[in-house]
Amino acid sequence: MAGKKVLIIYAHQEPRSFNGCLKKVAVETLSKQGCSVTVSDLYAMDFEPRATRNDITGPLSNPEVFSYGVEAYEACKKQSLTSDIVDEQKKVQEADLVIFQFPLYWFSVPAILKGWMDRVLCQGFAFDLPGFYDSGFLKGKLALLSITTGSTAEMYTKTGVSGDFKYFLWPLQGVASDQFFLLCGCSMAPCTSVDLKCSPPRSVLLLRLHQKRKESRWWHLGPRGWRPSGRKCPSPARTLGTLGSNVM
């Protein structure tokens, strides 16, 4: 693991939140293992989540009818995307592992993180047609979802109020898996689901996660076996699960 490069895309406003603690544990643990860790703190960076014409610094290919996907693709080829997008793309390009650390907002990612995905993982950089799935431009990289919620694990069971967590995560992992993992050629690192049956102190949970990450074998994964056609829902064990707290 020594010498590996890790990028953490962190989307939370409060450094002292549980998300902030999880990010800190990840940085400390991975750094001790010899990894080079970079953090993109989206709120601290005041990252622009809106995908607009302002993302293109050169002339538009079709100034009459604006299509963000088309214009971003052309701008990527012409190297005329704005510097904030290019900077993030360079970080992704250099990373062996990308960790997304965020709280669940309305059963999805925070808007600022969705904006990062929309703007950074554009066609021409992360994938192309052809040039996707097994031929994706980010092939060989690993990615990990580290999610917190304000709920307990029981709420995300078949009989829980929110439903089975693996089906609940289908659209969320669809954003990450189809766009980032599968479409771009990445593999998904297996993670750990932490139960909050007794709501133990955060320090206890953090110690558990620290130990599990020390034992992780992220770097020995092969490509995932499932594909878009006839695929089954990913197991909830592939995400960090439901780490509830008063301040997520």
Q: Looking at per-residue confidence, does 44 or 145 come out higher?
A: 44
- Specify the pLDDT at position 92: 95
Q: At a CB cut-off of 8 Å and minimum separation 6, what does 136 contact?
A: 126, 127, 182, 183, 184, 185, 186
Topology of domain 5-238, CATH: Rossmann fold (3.40.50)
> For the chain, what percent of residues have pLDDT higher than 70?
62
Percentage of the chain lying above the pLDDT 90 cut: 43
What gap in Å lies between CA 248 and CA 183, rounded to an integer?
Answer: 30
Indicate the range of 23-27, 74-78, 135-139, 216-220 predicted with least confidence: 216-220
Q: How far apart are CA 152 and CA 240, in angstroms?
A: 13
pTM for this one? Answer: 0.78
Q: What are the angstrom distances between the C-alpha of 86 and each of 79, 105, 112, 129?
A: 9, 27, 17, 21
pLDDT the model gives residue 18: 87
pLDDT in tens, 137-179: 677 788 888 888 777 778 878 888 877 767 666 665 555 554 4
Radius of gyration of the chain (CA): 18
Query: Which residue in this structure is represented by tokens 């809106």?
Result: 50
- Residue ranges of domains in the chain: 5-238
**Bigger pLDDT: 242 vs 8:** 8
Take residue 5 and report the two structure tokens written for it: 């490069």
pLDDT for res 195: 47
pLDDT digits 0-9 by tens, 212-225: 666 665 555 544 44
